[in-house]
Amino acid sequence: MSIFCFCVFSGSFVSLFEVGHLITSGNFSKVYEGTHAFSDKVKVALKCIPKRRVDRYLDISGHSKPVLAEVALMMRVGEAPSCPNILELHQWLEDESSFTLILEYPEPCRTLEDYILFSGPISEAQARLFMLQVLQAVKHCHERGVYHGDIRSRNVLVTLHSLELKLFDFRCARLISSKGFESSQYHGSEAYTPPEVLGQSTFHAAAADVWALAVLLFEIIHRYLPFESFDAIQHGYVRMDPTLSTACHDLIFHCLSRNPAHRLTLQQLEEHRWMKA
C-alpha cells in the first residue's frame, strides 16, 4: 500500500499506520484509509481535522485540559455498553495544528446515500431493517445525553455483506439540554432541517431527530428527498408513493408534523405498527 500525505499527520502517527487513499474530503476534515502497521494489517479510517479558532471543546474526566467536542462526545457514546450501530472511535491524537481520529472501518462499505442511489429500489421490509438500526443509534446517543446534530444518509455507513448500519460524523454533536438549542446553533444538512429551526427561536433534540428520521425513511424508500427548499420544508406538501403501506404513510405523516409537539416521540416511533411489522 502506498504511503503519502504525511504532512497532515504527526511523526508518531506515521510510525503506527500506513496511510492509503483519500476516502472522502469535506470542508472541515479529510478521511483516509489506514492500515495498522503492527496488527495484521487491520484497516481503519483516519479522520484528519485541522484546528480552527471556532472549535468547541468539552471538559471530560481523566483529561487535564478540554477535549475537542467531536472527540469528547464520541468517547461518551462509545463507553460500554456501546451501540453496534455507531462507528467506533478507537483512538485519537492531537498535535499543534490538527486532530487525528482513528475510527472503525467496516469493509466493504459505502454510505447509505450511495447505497440508495446505486442499489436499486428498496423494499419496505429492507427500509424497516435500516430504520430500526438508525433509531437504535439515535436512542443510544440520547441515553448518553448526546444530540448528533446531523442525521442524514451521508452520515450512515452500510456494511455491504451484512447490511449493518453505523452512524458516524459527530462534528455537529452537542450535549442535550432540557432548554433546547437556539435555532442559530443548528448546523445539520439543509434538506433535513426541521421547520422549527426556520420559524422559531429554539428547537429540541428529540423532535428534531424524529423529523430527520422521517426524512431519512422517505429518502430510503423514494430515492429522493421530500423537500427541495426551506420554503417547501415550512409550507410544502409531502407527496408519498401511493403504493406504500398505510402504516408507512401514517408513520412518515406523523413524524413530519410541522408542529414538533404533534410529532411522534422516539419511543412512539419505535413502537409504531410499521416498525413492528
Per DSSP, helices labelled H in the chain are 11-14, 69-78, 112-118, 124-143, 195-199, 205-222, 230-235, 246-255, 266-271, 273-276
Sequence-distant (6+) residues with CB within 8 A of 276 are none
**What grid cell was written down for 179?**
432548554
Q: Parallel, antiparallel, or unpaired: how do β-strands 43-50 and 98-104 relate?
A: antiparallel
Query: What angle (nearest 5°) sits at the alpha carbon of residue 152, between those of residues 232 and 113?
Result: 105
| Catalytic-residue membership of 150 | yes
Q: How far apart are the C-alpha atoms of 193 and 223, rounded to whole Å?
A: 18
Phi, psi of 20 (to 5 degrees): -100, -145
DSSP class of 21:
E
CB 116 within 8 A of CB 130: no
Q: Considering 55, 59, 95, 150, which one is annotated as catalytic?
A: 150
CB 133 within 8 A of CB 115: no
User: SS3 sequence, 174-232?
Assistant: EECCCCCEEHHHCCCCHHHCCHHHHHCCEECHHHHHHHHHHHHHHHHHHCCCCCCCHHH
* Residues known to be catalytic: 150
